[in-house]
Structure 1
């Protein structure tokens, strides 16, 4: 675990492996590791709550939440762009949700290559069941120790960071690696 006692030499040494990339400043390293720890702690607690109250994982909750708030069906590509998850992992999770009766998948009438995903009534009910506990947990762990100004600043900062990261092409636009032909 990162410690605030890490000195400048340790930070420089840790970052010099890439040559051209300047090292992170100690305050940047500290902020980075505190953020990762806080996100990890929150995600672990949320995962436990979702499993206990709905029998679903955090990733499944993300997919259900996106579909719940969407104005209509979404394509698998739209879901992939919305959550941070691999294509194969998303397909697997969608299969589990479909098997549980929480979503349906079907061909798009507008694009032969697209698969449309729709939240079922059972999926809507499950979302409404787990959401109060999710909100309660988020409030208790994340928002209770913050002032209203803190929440505003946190929202502004994380929006800037997210928008900067999302300015890159969506992951679904990244070409898949082609398998090399089998060697005889």
Structure 2
């Protein structure tokens, strides 16, 4: 990180200081450990990947249990083609359905089925327990408030120039 040079001419960019580097590596390690544990639980209890769980959870929370595929993709930081593939797997398992939008033939509507709702209800308690045990039990209420504030600001900063997989499509309104 601090030793990586810029191939463009001009002054070399400043590297990360020791505190920044330590914070970055701690964030990456915590994120990886949490992602691994959550993914392991979801696979064991529901035969779901984390992305599949995100799809189902977003649909459970959506109005009438359905979203346009593009709106679903905008909220999940995952490639659109990868998300389409994951939705296909969920569709084949009977956890969601996909159908053309009545308003726009180019859009696909994704709806959660009762089987999908039942699966989310089954895996959610263990999912919540894992997150609480691994992440929140190590924090005080003050830590949680600070972490939420800091990560919220970083998320907004990053969403201002998101990767393509997290960028809303042109002409679409985003919702938070």
Tell whether 2:134 aligns with 1:134. no
Instruction: Give TM-score scaled by structure 1 length.
Output: 0.83
Change (3 A) 1:141 1:18: farther
Greater alpha carbon shift after TM alignment, 138-147 vs 68-77: 68-77
1:31-50 matches, within 5 Å, as 31-50=23-42
| 162-171 or 105-114, which deviates more | 162-171
Quote the Cα distance in structure 2 between the aligned partners of 1:155 and 1:173: 27
Structure 2: gaps of 5 or more residues: 171-176
- Name the Cα RMSD after superposition: 1.6
Cross-structure match for 1:122? 115
Cα distance between partner residues in 2 of 1:106 and 1:122:
17
Matched, 1:171 2:164: no
- Larger Rg, first or second structure (1 or 2): 1
Gaps of at least 5 residues in structure 1 are 1-10, 175-184
The answer for the alignment partner of 1:7 in structure 2 is none
Task: Report the Cα distance in structure 2 between the residues aligned to 1:58 and 1:125, rounded to whole angstroms.
Answer: 17
- Runs (4 or more) in structure 1 with deviation over 2 Å come to 15-22, 168-174
Q: Which has the higher contact order (CA 8 A, sep 6+)?
A: 2
Which digits, 9 at most, give the CA deviation of each residue in 1:46-69, with x for residues without a partner? 111001111101110111111111
